[in-house]
């Protein structure tokens, strides 16, 4: 397990997480099953990897369906994003948040941030902690709802939709009095594909606000900034 600090606050962010990546061999719709995965798995936890990929695969298939719904919402053909999600970025984490004693100005479970990819589906346990920033600048609790996910728009989708979809700024502060666990699933486009504007989101009066780059270049840029403590 690995503790980390995303945003260089005064004290370490309290959470610890196990992270893993997309693995084509667990993707029923993979075009190229033999592509290697970058994840590192513990060798002494029988069934751990298989259990987690069982859930990951369900979310992967659901996320592909959601991108079709997003395409329709953008007045594009249903299959507009299909080419982008054949070999998606689909990392996942299990996060553990101890109960926090310090004030939110000094410490968070995870500090305020936006996610890098297109959208994130968060499975939460029954404990409060996740908060989202609304347009008026107030933190709103995203209270756990049984059998439901929180879906947060992330930065690649904001870029590609020219700010029509806006990334959700969010943070976690666990003052629930209990330990909290969550499983975010980060769904993004194929690293080799360009983040070009969705045609329905640009016009002569509303030109593309962002320079075009591939998803891979964008993930690299964000990950480098996060390591430097500026994200
Ligand atoms: O634990 C949560 O509810 C959210 C986690 C999160 O925002 C992240 O890992 O990026
Ligand atoms: Fe997040």
Rounded to the nearest whole angstrom, what is the distance from the C-alpha of residue 154 to the centroid of ligand 1? 12
Mean pLDDT computed over 124-142: 96
Model confidence at 19: pLDDT above 80? yes
- Residue percentage of the chain with pLDDT more than 90: 82
Distance CA 206, CA 228 (A): 33
What pLDDT sits at residue 11? 60
Q: Give the residue, 106 or 79, on which the prediction is more confident.
A: 79
* pLDDT value of residue 228: 65
Q: What is the pLDDT of residues 46-74, one digit of tens each?
A: 999 999 999 999 999 999 999 999 999 99
pLDDT of residue 37: 86
Q: Whole-number mean pLDDT of the chain?
A: 91
Give the whole-angstrom CA distance, residue 87 versus residue 89: 7
Domains of the chain: 16-228 (2.60.120.330)
CA of 204 to the centre of ligand 2 (A): 33
User: Per DSSP, which regions of the chain are E strands?
Assistant: 2-3, 16-20, 89-97, 110-113, 119-124, 130-133, 139-141, 150-153, 170-172, 180-188
pLDDT tens figures, 165-223: 999 999 999 999 999 999 999 999 999 999 999 999 999 999 999 999 999 999 999 88
- Per-residue confidence band for 116, with pLDDT thresholds at 50, 70 and 90: very high
CA dihedral 200, 206, 212, 215 (to 10 degrees): -50
Give CA–CA dist 174/127, Å, rounded: 8
Task: Give bridge partners of residue 194 from the DSSP assignment.
Answer: 214
Q: Which atom of ligand 1 is nearest to the CA of 122?
A: 3
DSSP 122: E
Provide the pLDDT confidence category of residue 104 given band limits of 50, 70 and 90.
confident
**Residue 90 burial (C-beta neighbours within 10 Å; 0-12, 13-18, 19+):** buried
Q: What is the pTM of this model?
A: 0.92
203: CA distance to ligand 2 center in Å? 31
For 2, which DSSP code?
A: E
The contacts of residue 95 (CB under 8 Å, 6+ apart) are 15, 16, 17, 109, 110, 172, 181, 182, 183, 184
Return the ligand 1 atom nearest residue 180 CA.
1
Whether 161 has a pLDDT exceeding 90, the answer reads yes
- How sure is the predictor about 119, in pLDDT bands with cuts at 50, 70 and 90? very high
Instruction: Decide: 174 and 104 in contact? Cβ < 8 Å.
Output: no
Ligand 1 lined by 71 (C-beta under 6 Å): no
Number of other CB atoms surrounding residue 164 within 10 Å = 17
Output the pLDDT for position 35.
83
- Alpha helices (H) along the chain: 48-73, 155-160, 215-227
Which among 172, 173, 179 is the best mutation to test ligand 1's pocket, defined by most ligand atoms within 8 Å of the CB? 172
Is the pLDDT reported for residue 147 higher than 70? yes
Q: Quick check: ipTM above 0.95?
A: yes
How far, in Å, from the CA of 37 to the mean position of ligand 1? 23
Q: Is 128 in the pocket of ligand 1 (CB under 6 A)?
A: no
With a 6 Å cutoff on the Cβ, whether 160 touches ligand 1 is no
Q: From ligand 2's centre to the CA of 54, what distance in Å?
A: 22
Residues with CB under 5 A from ligand 2 (ion): 115
Lowest-confidence pick of 3-7, 83-87, 97-101: 3-7
| Per-residue confidence (pLDDT) for residue 31, from 0 to 100 | 87
């Amino acid at each position: 397990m690995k503790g980390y600090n995303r945003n260089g606050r005064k004290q370490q962010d309290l959470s610890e997480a196990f992270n893993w990546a997309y693995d084509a061999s667990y993707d029923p719709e993979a075009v190229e099953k033999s592509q290697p995965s970058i994840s590192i798995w513990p060798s002494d936890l029988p069934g751990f990897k298989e259990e987690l990929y069982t859930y990951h695969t369900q979310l992967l298939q659901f996320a592909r369906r959601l991108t079709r719904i997003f395409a329709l919402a953008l007045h594009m053909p249903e299959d507009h994003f299909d080419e982008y999600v054949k070999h998606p970025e689909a990392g996942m984490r299990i996060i553990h948040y101890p109960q926090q004693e310090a004030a939110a100005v000094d410490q968070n479970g995870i500090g305020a941030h936006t996610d890098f990819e297109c959208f994130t589906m968060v499975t939460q346990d029954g404990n409060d902690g996740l908060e989202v920033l609304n347009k008026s600048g107030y933190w709103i609790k995203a209270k756990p709802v049984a059998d439901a996910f929180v879906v947060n728009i992330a930065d690649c989708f904001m870029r590609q939709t020219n700010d029509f979809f806006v990334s959700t700024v969010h943070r976690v502060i666990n003052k629930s009095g209990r330990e909290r666990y969550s499983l975010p699933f980060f769904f993004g486009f194929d690293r080799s594909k360009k983040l070009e504007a969705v045609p329905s989101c640009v016009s002569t009066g509303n030109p593309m606000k962002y320079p075009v780059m591939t998803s891979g270049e964008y993930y690299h840029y964000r990950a480098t900034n996060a390591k430097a403590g500026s994200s």
